[in-house]
């Protein structure tokens, strides 16, 4: 398989400086400089897939961002970091959970946009969400008052 030279390319906050002499699991790794100044060796496949976009500073920022500045996406990132993926839980109906759903008894702290012009309610507190399957989540949100 031919190696794709990533030198000089940017992936999120990462600038690829050159190829590393280390391999991880048989995969090419690259020396990258993050916008925050940290230099780190990262798998090329992780950068190309979007899995790695910073040295880790972005995750730390999202977790420590003041509650009044978070977005819908950073709220869900907090949930996943705090409680894991919903698939690790069961929905109340007995099916595997697929989503984190905002509990209706939660005082809504934020109103945002879902990217399609629709209003979306969310909270910055991971404890305000419960795991649900897609069917229950859809039904649950249709009955929100």
pLDDT at position 65 over 80:
no
Handedness of CA 47, 48, 51, 57 (dihedral sign): positive
Asked whether the predicted pLDDT for residue 121 surpasses 50, the reply is yes
* pTM tops 0.85, yes or no: no
Tell me the average pLDDT across 3-29. Answer: 90
Alpha-carbon span 108 to 129, nearest angstrom: 11
Instruction: Render 100-124 in DSSP notation, one character per residue.
Output: EEE-TTSPP-EEEE-SSS-EEEE-S
pLDDT at 94 (0 to 100): 95
Q: Does position 145 have pLDDT exceeding 60, yes or no?
A: no
Q: Which of 4-8, 37-41, 104-108, 123-127 has the least mean pLDDT?
A: 104-108
Q: What is the percent of the chain with per-residue pLDDT over 90, rounded to a whole number?
A: 48
In this prediction, residues 86-112 reach a mean pLDDT of: 90
Query: Given this model, what pLDDT does residue 1 score?
Result: 62
What does pLDDT average to over the chain?
87
55/121 Cα distance (integer angstroms): 31
pLDDT attached to residue 113: 77
Whether residue 68 has pLDDT greater than 80: no
């Amino acid at each position: 398989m031919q190696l794709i030279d990533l030198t000089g390319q940017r992936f999120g906050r990462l600038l690829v400086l050159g190829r590393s002499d280390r391999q991880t699991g048989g995969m090419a790794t690259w020396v990258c400089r993050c916008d925050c100044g940290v230099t780190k060796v990262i798998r090329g496949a992780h950068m190309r897939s979007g899995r790695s976009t910073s040295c880790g500073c972005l995750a730390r920022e999202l977790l420590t961002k003041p509650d009044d500045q978070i977005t819908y996406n950073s709220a869900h990132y907090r949930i996943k970091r705090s409680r894991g993926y919903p698939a690790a839980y069961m929905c109340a109906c007995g099916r595997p959970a697929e989503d984190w759903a905002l509990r209706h008894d939660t005082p809504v702290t934020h109103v945002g946009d879902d990217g399609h012009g629709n209003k979306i309610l969310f909270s910055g507190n991971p404890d305000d969400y419960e795991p649900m399957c897609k069917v229950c989540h859809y039904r649950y949100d249709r009955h929100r008052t």
